[in-house]
Chain A
Amino acid sequence: MAYNFKEYMERPDRLTAGHRMCAGCGASIALRNVMKAVHPEDHAVICNATSCMEVSTFIYPYTAWQDSYIHTAFENAGATCSGVEAAYRAMSKKGKIGGTYKFIAVGGDGGTYDIGFQSLSGAMERNTDMVYVCYDNEAYMNTGIQRSSATPLYADTTTTPVGTVSNGKPQNRKDLAEVIAAHHVPYVAQTTFVQNFRDLHIKSEKALYTSGAAFLNIMAPCPRGWRYNTPDIIDLCKAAVDTCFWPLFECYDGEKWVVNYIPKKKLPIEDFLRSQGRFAHLFKPENEHLIEDIQREIDRRWENLLTRANA
């Protein structure tokens, strides 16, 4: 069925109101929209890594999830989901399952890029029939904005603080979607909140209804960690894709790369950085060269992506 915004948005919410995520939190926007991709007649099991999402949506005795849900620990959403999926196969063989289930692992960038990386890699290599959704807010936000391997170059975090001899995080970010694509799983995609969510909706549904392992990397801004004006989240996401800081792409079977959006006019990275407190130090006159460093890396990665996609 062709994508229809109205039909998609009219599907029942599976992550419901009443959870305790911050106002304007990118993670809850991401997951609410991903969950709507599960067809209304199908069931889902969510396997959530310890994260803001977990501690704010399932506080005993309340849950904000309409589907079955399990949290076990920080570093093992991939493995926990593998076990649930294995149970589904075993119990289906014995006729013990009623209905079709989708398996969705959810983690922040900490639980995905870093501590949960091994478990994720294992689940992907085994081509587990699941979707791993990373809501990437570019630092360990649940513990109070510490750097992760998803944190961009020169970002001010509580473990890479800007100081008299520090310009923030000294390293570039890991390109996790590319790493997962190297597992040659059927589907990898990167998206965020742009185009009235069309890109995110289509990729979520594709990921869920592709047989085998799929990985969705969703840039999900964190108003507290990034220090922007909370209502401006959509402008910020648009700037992320127009500067090519966060390209929208897909990779099929680790081979076929598709760039979903090529800006008519690629904007300078300042347009993404300027509104965020975590990059405020870069706009001091003496730090112009730091912005040049960031721009150089953005350009290099963007060109590599275009080459891979033959775009």
Chain B
Amino acid sequence: MSIRERLSGNEAIATAMRQINPDVVAAFPITPSTEIPQYFSSYVANGKVDSVFVPVESEHSAMSATIGASAAGARAMTATSSCGLAYMWEMLYVAASDRLPLALALVNRALSGPININCDHSDAMGARDAGWIQLFSENNQEAYDNMVMAFRISEHPDVRLPIMVCQDGFIISHGVENIELLEDDVVKNFVGEYRPEHYLLNASEPLAIGPYANPPYVMEAKRANLQALENSKKVMLDVAADFERISGRKYSFFESYRMEDADYAMVIMGSAAGTGKDAVDALRSMGIRAGLIKVRMFRPFPASQIAEALKNVKVVACMDRTESFNTVTGPLGADVRCALYDAGIHAKFVNYVYGLGGRDVTVASLTSVYEDMMKIAADGTVGQTYRYLSLKG
């Protein structure tokens, strides 16, 4: 029996962590993810988990300790936001290179500067090339579900990679919504016991991790990391199928919302997808063929699947909640455009930067994107392909 609750995104993640009962959690507080280690510390303090909590002195040390614990043979996790993830950046690559299946709950927040505590995806995008799996969540339910599924994906022998579960800061992390939780023993059985094959604390087989590698080995190591990411696509689908059996909730690379006959498609990630769906519903009621793709798995990027979903649309609008300063596209825009090009799809393409530093994203603002797409279709030309949404004056 599932449990009906009302929880914030941070509470949902912390609840999943309690149910997973990892061996080690190492974390350092940063808004808006601070509550996660706080809740978890209270579970430790009250004997609700068996975990060892390491209250480190920085995020760099949080990731370093999580790496150390995972390498030692523990199921290990951490949580952070924004500059905290940026401070971990060096170590993110090490975690992936060492093929450690640790998990990170990311509560998306703008990177400084100017310093700002509100949501955008610049933190996660800074980590997109680190060799991790990245899953995005639309709401507290998805954040919870993604976290419950995380270790099954990351620890799979064909994968063995770190995984990042992303939710939008404040909008999800602090917004209390209805949620369906799984029972503790159902999660425990679903996640299963962690049995690493090689680990530091195996007395019968000492192990050395993190070598100096000369040029004959580095490319092969990176290629192996890439293969593991490629493998994670199938593993993610298999885990999602198992998860559907215990939860009734269905997950895949992305969610296609009213895309069957869509002429105008928005590609978006995170909480704003929910707002976008409201815009789609309103447009559909006016007879406009609007649709939306909400990307869940951003790394590895499901390029061929997304191209397939977009093959019949007239105009695609990609929504990037970050600025990557290449002056042409945002990171999601670049990946989608690349997918379309490779598939020989010539839909008109426009890319928006939106919602930086917590700038409001409303049904009206996202509706204006669909109106822009209709104008592009009518005019037959895109004009400026890289645009800012809701920019003042």
Q: Which residues on A are within 8 Å of B, measured CB to CB?
A: 43, 45, 47, 54-55, 58-61, 63, 65-73, 75-76, 78-91, 93-94, 96-99, 101, 118-119, 121-122, 125-126
Contact = CB atoms under 8 A, between A and B. Distances in A.
Given A84-B69, A119-B60, A55 B212 contact: yes
B157 interface: no
A91 B74 CA distance: 7
B94 A90 contact: no
B303 interface: no
B56 A79 contact: yes
Given A76-B64, A94-B50, A126 B208 contact: no
Nearest to B210: A71
B214 A70 contact: no
A63 B213 CA distance: 12
A118 B57 contact: yes
B54 interface: yes
Given A72-B68, A126-B54, A79 B60 contact: yes
Given A60-B217, A61-B211, A72 B54 contact: no
A98 B51 contact: no
Q: Determine the interface band of chain B, counting residues with CB < 8 A from chain A.
A: 35 or more
Contacts of B200: 45, 68-70, 84, 87
A61 B212 CA distance: 9
A55 B208 CA distance: 13
Interface in B61-83: 61-62, 64-74, 76
Contact of A86 (B69, B208, B210, B212): B69
- The interface centre, meaning the residue of B61, B65, B98 with most chain A CB atoms within 10 A of its CB, is B65
A87 B50 contact: no
B71 A70 contact: yes
Given A83-B70, A87-B201, A90-B24, 19 more contacts: A55-B212, A59-B211, A59-B212, A68-B207, A70-B68, A73-B90, A73-B94, A76-B64, A82-B68, A83-B65, A83-B76, A86-B24, A86-B69, A88-B72, A90-B23, A91-B72, A94-B50, A119-B64, A122-B57
Given A45-B201, A82-B68, A119-B57, A59 B207 contact: no
B204 A54 contact: no
Given A58-B208, A86-B52, A96 B73 contact: yes
Nearest to A67: B206
B199 to A, nearest CB: 8
Contacts of A45: 72, 200-201
B61 A122 contact: yes
Given A88-B72, A90-B52, A101-B201, A78 B61 contact: yes
A218 to B, nearest CB: 23
A58 B60 CA distance: 23
25 contacts: A54-B212, A58-B211, A60-B213, A61-B217, A65-B208, A68-B202, A68-B208, A70-B200, A71-B209, A72-B67, A72-B98, A75-B60, A76-B91, A79-B60, A84-B69, A84-B200, A87-B68, A87-B200, A87-B201, A89-B52, A90-B69, A96-B73, A98-B203, A121-B57, A122-B57
Contact of A87 (B72, B206, B214): B72
Most buried by A among B52, B66, B217: B52
B203 A82 contact: no
Interface of B: 23-24, 26, 50-52, 54-58, 60-62, 64-74, 76, 90-91, 94, 98, 200-204, 206-214, 217
Tell me which of A90, A122, A126 has the highest count of chain B C-beta atoms within 10 A of its own C-beta: A90
A73 B201 contact: no
Q: Is the interface of A mostly helix, strand, loop or mixed?
A: mixed
Given A58-B208, A118-B58, A68 B74 contact: no
Contact of B211 (A47, A71, A75, A93): A71
Contacts of B51: 90
Contacts of A119: 57-58, 60-61, 64
A91 B54 contact: no
A142 B46 CA distance: 47
A98 B202 CA distance: 8
A148 to B, nearest CB: 20
Nearest to B102: A83
A122 B58 contact: yes
A70 B90 contact: no
Contacts of A84: 68-69, 71-72, 200-201
A69 B65 contact: no
A60 B212 contact: yes
A131 to B, nearest CB: 15
Contacts of B50: 90, 93-94
Contacts of A86: 23-24, 26, 52, 54, 65, 68-69, 74
B58 A70 contact: no
Contacts of A89: 52
Contacts of B68: 47, 70, 72, 79-87
Given A86-B26, A91-B72, A80 B58 contact: no
B213 A80 contact: no
Contacts of B209: 69-71
B73 A87 contact: yes
A86 B74 CA distance: 9
Contact of B64 (A83, A94, A121): A83
A96 B199 CA distance: 12
Nearest to A96: B73
A119 B57 CA distance: 7
